[in-house]
Homo-oligomer: A and B are copies of this chain.
């Protein structure tokens, strides 16, 4: 993205920024295509399911889930609707706070996630991790830390 025009960015800066955008589109595009072809899941679905799998009782409050996943609350509601329709998740009311709602991973969800997990990991590994050294990875993580906490 974003040809270097008359002002401002050096070509080194451009390579870092532009490459970031392209690499993201490329990697996410490939992973998403593979997940969806082989398991009928999008990357967002995978994200939600894997969060639930790691949570106690395989369940999380919608609001909590919305906080960790890359989606707005309404986007999450819609996605969980679809996952419920497909039998991978179900909803449960919250005892202590009647406004609250839980999403719970079903057995079928565990199963599908288990399959998808391998595809996902293999993809992340071959497309991303395997191309980078341990030192690269440390450096990347440190960059994301700094970028994340701007005001």
Residues on A close to B: CB < 8 A?
A: 1-5, 7-9, 12-13, 15-17, 19-28, 43, 46-47, 50-51, 53-54, 68-70, 117, 120-121, 124-129, 131-132, 134, 136-148, 150
Give every chain B residue within 8 A of A7 (Cβ-Cβ). Answer: 117, 121
User: Apart from A3-B51, A5-B50, A19-B143, what are 18 other A-B pairs with CB-CB below 8 Å?
Assistant: A3-B54, A3-B68, A7-B121, A13-B137, A16-B132, A16-B136, A17-B128, A19-B140, A19-B144, A19-B145, A19-B148, A20-B140, A21-B28, A22-B70, A22-B148, A25-B70, A26-B147, A140-B140
Tell whether, in the assembled complex, residue B148 and residue A26 are in contact, meaning their CB atoms are under 8 Å apart: yes
